[in-house]
Copies of this chain bind each other. A is one copy, B any other.
């Protein structure tokens, strides 16, 4: 499989990517490597000179507070440019680690600078992808501030289902999800115990099941309703801009 395929597939959902642009992206990749689960991809406080494209697997941004607890800030899937922002930000204010075995591609910042110099449309699409990351962050914030634990958990499952379907990693509202409940709880800003109970509730309502690293959504419509999930913010509708 082509390294930039998932990214191109994702970007194409918003605006057509030309063959030239695809070629530009392909030539921007310096090298590819496979990393084990739980390994840091980008260290907190570092100043990367290249950005990392996630080709396969799951990765997460995280931050720790003084008492040692962790908050996960984003869950990334194949096709995500996990630290595209390191191109412009001086220093990583959080770390990124592999939640599962991951294939990642490195894109030197010089290549990105060249893209911004010569390929305005592609630049806008990359910019857009960081804006969508921010939109996702806003949804997480709304959940943390104003939604119940169960609704928050349901919302994240809805989000993952849609984002994974874009890159072809779902089959009939089911997908592999090699993430522990502890990691999930850290994403939602709640304790493992409370997440477990919330999951139980949703399970007993027949909305979905989560067993052995696989999530299967039984009632997609009721799940979205309970989560107050509206995929508009993911900007996946068709249309040129």
Chain A contacts to B: CB under 8 angstroms: 61, 63, 65-66, 69-71, 73, 85, 88-91, 93-94, 116-117, 120, 123-124, 127-128, 130-135, 137-142, 144-147, 186, 188-190, 228, 232-233, 235, 237, 239, 241
| Selected contact of A123 from candidates B116, B130, B140, B239, CB within 8 Å | B116
Q: Contact between B137 and A189 (Cβ–Cβ < 8 Å)?
A: no
**Which chain B residue shows the least CB distance to A125?**
B88
Q: Contact between A142 and B66 (Cβ–Cβ < 8 Å)?
A: no
What is the copy number of this chain in the assembly? Answer: 2
| Selected contact of A120 from candidates B116, B133, B241, CB within 8 Å | B116
Interface of chain A, main secondary structure: helix
Residues of B within 8 Å of A123, CB to CB, are 116, 120, 123
Q: How far is the CB of A11 from chain B (nearest CB, A)?
A: 12
Q: Contact between B141 and A134 (Cβ–Cβ < 8 Å)?
A: no
Q: Contact between A237 and B130 (Cβ–Cβ < 8 Å)?
A: no
In Å, the complex CA distance between A237 and B91 comes to 10
